[in-house]
């Protein structure tokens, strides 16, 4: 066959395959067939951009606000609770038959100045009032909350204590965790109450230690009767950290044996900070990202996880490319998510679809 004809045939074959790939049902549908909720994080301020919003409306059954359900958005001044930043996301979800996760009631950051400046003895009352005040507004509209985010100390930062250093820990020790969950339960009896953290996935000593710390803290909470129902595993997966299914699966089995649900709440796959990210390497880069995503998600699903969210859906709007503290010094775009900037489904999209189908 003459070369030119072969090239034309190749190009049309590729176009046909691309068209077919776009025709596959959305991830929300593929996941739902096996009782899995799939979703993604979302920015209210980007909803006016069709290139950003349309794929989210199509692919996601769940949404989690990247910033609009944090303390500095929900109670910017003491006693002034507001859903004004969150409302556009709640309305978008209503229009697209999506559910919204709450992220997050109590965290060591994203706090307004009035909280930072509060005297320590006031923090117990301030925490209780925030959790109760927010849930009074979101009850019936948000049924799944990260009540506390990232309470466990990173072993390389604090080698000898389980609890992250924060204004809450300093004021109340582990008691702030119990207080947050008890207050949330009292304020919204129907909500699923989640403790969310990161660095729990890799197969290396630092993650082993963080998993051990989280298990100790959870055992303490459950022993004291704190109503924690689930653990959100953020699953931000740096490719330069080793991942093997078995230590992660064993950890998930321990959580499930404690009667806890497990969720993957912030999945993305982070290309190595030290490596150059070249255009010509995109096929190999995308394949590596897809393989890691498939390994993590299929392991979690095999251990009973039924909720999977990515932290963004399309690469250009990932926090890794948008958020100044996370952006690469060389400015190269990290390809961490299921779609590219044109909304095309990347190998990671297909890897998630395969994992949801049990393949
Ligand atoms: O809303 C303001 C906007 O009015 C203003 O114009 C803009 C410019 O500065 O800032 C906007 O707020 C930013 C917010 O993202 C938007 O959602 C904050 O400055 C910025 O600090 C905030 O960054 C978020 C960060 O958490 C801190 O809250 C990132 O988008 C978000 O991806 C990141 O997400 C965290 C999870 O909550 C916890 N797990 C790790 C994950 C990644 O760091």
CB 220 within 8 A of CB 185: no
* Minimum mean pLDDT range among 15-29, 57-71, 169-183, 341-355: 15-29
Q: How far is CA 265 from CA 9, 103, 146, 304, 340, in A?
A: 42, 10, 9, 14, 20
Beta-carbon-side half-sphere exposure of residue 221 (alpha carbons within 13 Å): 32
> Does residue 6 surpass a pLDDT of 90?
no
> What is the rounded average pLDDT of the residues 276-297?
98
Residue nearest atom 34 in ligand 1 by C-alpha distance? 66
- Model confidence pLDDT, tens digit, residues 303-318: 999 999 999 999 999 9
Task: Tell me if 323 CB under 6 Å of ligand 1.
Answer: yes
Residue nearest atom 42 in ligand 1 by C-alpha distance? 319
pLDDT at residue 16, as a whole number: 73
| Domain annotation covers residue 7 | no
How far, in Å, is the centroid of ligand 1 from the Cα of 323? Answer: 7
Mutate to test the pocket of ligand 1, among 310, 312, 323, 325 (most ligand atoms within 8 A of CB): 323
Task: Tell me if 43 CB under 6 Å of ligand 1.
Answer: yes
Q: What are the backbone angles phi and psi of residue 113, rounded to the nearest 5°?
A: -55, -35
Task: Tell me if 232 CB under 6 Å of ligand 1.
Answer: no
| Domain annotation covers residue 315 | yes
| Domain annotation covers residue 229 | yes
| Domain annotation covers residue 241 | yes
| Domain annotation covers residue 336 | yes
How far, in Å, is the centroid of ligand 1 from the Cα of 64? Answer: 13
pLDDT at residue 295, as a whole number: 98
| Domain annotation covers residue 19 | no
For the entire predicted model, the pTM comes to 0.94
> Does residue 215 surpass a pLDDT of 70?
yes
- Model confidence pLDDT, tens digit, residues 38-90: 999 999 999 999 999 999 999 999 999 999 999 999 999 999 999 999 999 99
Residues spanned by the domain of 196: 27-357
How far, in Å, is the centroid of ligand 1 from the Cα of 319? Answer: 8
> What is the rounded average pLDDT of the residues 347-353?
98
> Does residue 102 surpass a pLDDT of 80?
yes
pLDDT at residue 8, as a whole number: 72
Task: Tell me if 101 CB under 6 Å of ligand 1.
Answer: no
> Does residue 189 surpass a pLDDT of 70?
yes
Q: What's the structural domain count of the chain?
A: 1
Q: How far apart are the first and last CA of the chain?
A: 37
Identify the CATH number of the domain in which residue 212 sits.
3.20.20.80
> Does residue 9 surpass a pLDDT of 90?
no
- Model confidence pLDDT, tens digit, residues 319-341: 999 999 999 999 999 999 999 99
> Does residue 19 surpass a pLDDT of 90?
no
Query: What average pLDDT does the structure give for the chain?
Result: 96
Structure tokens at 3: 């070369």
pLDDT at residue 22, as a whole number: 64
| Domain annotation covers residue 103 | yes
| Domain annotation covers residue 4 | no
> What is the rounded average pLDDT of the residues 162-190?
98
3: confidence class by pLDDT, cuts 50, 70, 90: low
How far, in Å, is the centroid of ligand 1 from the Cα of 357? Answer: 33
């Amino acid at each position: 066959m003459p070369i030119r004809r072969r090239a034309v045939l190749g190009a049309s074959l590729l176009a046909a395959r691309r068209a077919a790939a776009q025709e596959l049902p959305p991830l929300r549908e593929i996941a739902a067939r096996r009782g899995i909720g799939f979703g993604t994080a979302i920015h209210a301020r980007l909803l006016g951009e069709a290139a950003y919003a349309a794929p989210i409306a199509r692919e996601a059954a769940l949404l989690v606000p990247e910033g609009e359900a944090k303390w500095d958005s929900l109670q910017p001044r003491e006693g002034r609770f507001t859903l004004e930043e969150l409302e556009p996301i709640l309305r978008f979800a209503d229009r697209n038959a999506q559910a919204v996760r709450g992220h997050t009631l109590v965290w060591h950051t994203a706090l307004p100045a009035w909280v930072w400046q509060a005297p320590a003895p006031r923090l117990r009352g301030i925490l209780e009032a925030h959790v109760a005040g927010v849930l009074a507004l979101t009850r019936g509209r948000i049924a799944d909350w990260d009540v506390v985010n990232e309470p466990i100390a990173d072993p390389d930062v604090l080698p000898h204590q389980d609890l992250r250093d924060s204004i809450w820990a300093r004021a109340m020790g582990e008691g702030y965790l119990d207080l947050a969950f008890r207050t949330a339960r009292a304020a919204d009896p129907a909500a699923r109450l989640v403790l969310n953290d990161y660095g729990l996935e890799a197969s290396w000593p630092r993650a082993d230690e963080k998993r051990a710390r989280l298990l100790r803290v959870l055992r303490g909470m459950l022993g004291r009767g704190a109503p924690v129902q689930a653990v959100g595993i953020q699953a931000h997966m740096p490719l330069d950290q080793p991942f093997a299914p078995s230590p992660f699966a064993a950890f998930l089995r321990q959580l499930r044996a404690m009667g806890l649900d497990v969720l993957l709440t912030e999945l993305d796959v982070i290309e190595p900070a030290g490596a150059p990210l070249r255009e010509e390497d995109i096929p190999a880069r995308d394949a590596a990202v897809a393989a890691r995503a498939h390994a993590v998600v299929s392991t979690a699903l095999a251990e009973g996880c039924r909720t999977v969210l990515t932290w963004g859906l399309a690469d250009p709007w990932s926090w890794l490319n948008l958020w100044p503290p996370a952006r690469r010094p060389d400015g190269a775009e990290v390809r961490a998510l299921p779609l590219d900037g044109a909304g095309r489904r990347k190998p990671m999209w297909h890897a998630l679809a395969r994992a949801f189908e049990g393949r």
